Amino acid sequence: MNEVKKRSVGIIGIGSHVPEKVLTNKDLEAIVETSDEWIVDRTGIRERRIADQETATSDLAYQAALKALADAKVSADEIDLVIVATATPDMFFPSTACLVQNRIGATKAAAFDLAAGCSGFAYGLVVGTQFVQNGTYKKVLVIGAETLSKILDWTDRNTCVLFGDGAGAVVLGEVEEGYGILGVELGADGSGGDLLKMPAGGSRMPASAQTVADRLHYVHMSGNDVFKFAVKVMGEAAAKALEHAGLSSEDVDCLIPHQANIRIIQSAAKRLKMPMDKVMVNVDKYGNTSSASIPIALNEAVKSGKVKKNDVVVVVGFGAGLTWASCVLKWCGEDL
């Protein structure tokens, strides 16, 4: 019996959207005990975007989705599946993906959310790719979107300076052989679940007056432990994805890492023996936007010409769970 040949699947459209409001480090000096110099030195972040009170995660996801659809020259009714990776859904249910599906008019699409923290978008890429690869669907919309500002404790200087809001989206579809997703690596270590979490609001600790008073509906992070984990796993995950693709770090034209901290990004580049001029960095402008960070950075890299047709691109992230994920792609270009 002949083995069915796998379809080549790649990104055929991309877009991103961030709120208009810019919150600089100087602005934060008036809110919490910190300084611009301290934040830049330790994180590389200079400013971040903050959604207003009326804007939810699905609103940012919707805008990014429209741009990705336009870039792919694909209509919403051609989308077969919507995946939204997020740690800050509009609500527990329905899924944010269903809200986006309805708003963009993707009436034929299935829809679900994916929770893998900051690794969520890369996880979503792998999941979406498999649906197209095996012939179940033709076009999949994958979105990473967050409004982390809604769950930050603005009295905690260790976390509130790190995060920002935004969304990025891609359309996945069949591409010419040799292009698209070439290799992937996913992983998790649930023993580190307590290191990065929002403790209350779920079935373990339902919302109550006490949980609100105890400030348990905000991001809680063991910063040093997460940092050590990230430094180790980012380079390893990227190297394994390259190995699965039959490539080495020397073949990589652009590294798109999760934009959490400039030191972590530099460490990943060093482990891969990659010069920083091949690494996309925009953490200074947006801070850590969790599952939105990789697609926002990838979109900027593509639109600025840093990523071009035939380039080998590696995306890699880590996040709550703890999780990690990396994908190797050969960039298709607009003419495919």
Q: Catalytic residues, which ones?
A: 118, 258, 288
Beta bridge partners of 82: 111, 141
CB 323 within 8 A of CB 187: yes
**The residue count for the chain:** 336
Residue 223: partners with Cβ closer than 8 Å, 6 or more residues away: 158, 159
Beta bridge partners of 9: 174
Helix (H, G, I), strand (E, B) or coil at 3: coil
Query: Alpha-carbon torsion 304, 305, 308, 312, what sign?
Result: negative
Q: 186 preceded by cis ω (within 30°)?
A: no
In angstroms, rounded to a whole number, what is the distance separating the alpha carbons of residues 267 and 5? 38
In angstroms, rounded to a whole number, what is the distance separating the alpha carbons of residues 317 and 5? 29
Please name the residue that has the structure tokens 């080495």. 248
CB 99 within 8 A of CB 60: no
CA atoms within 13 A on the CB side of 297: 32
In angstroms, rounded to a whole number, what is the distance separating the alpha carbons of residues 258 and 322? 14
Encoded tokens for 169: 């989206």
In angstroms, rounded to a whole number, what is the distance separating the alpha carbons of residues 75 and 77? 5
Q: Which amino acid is it at 257?
A: P
Burial grade of 88 (CB within 10 A; 0-12, 13-18, 19 or more):
buried
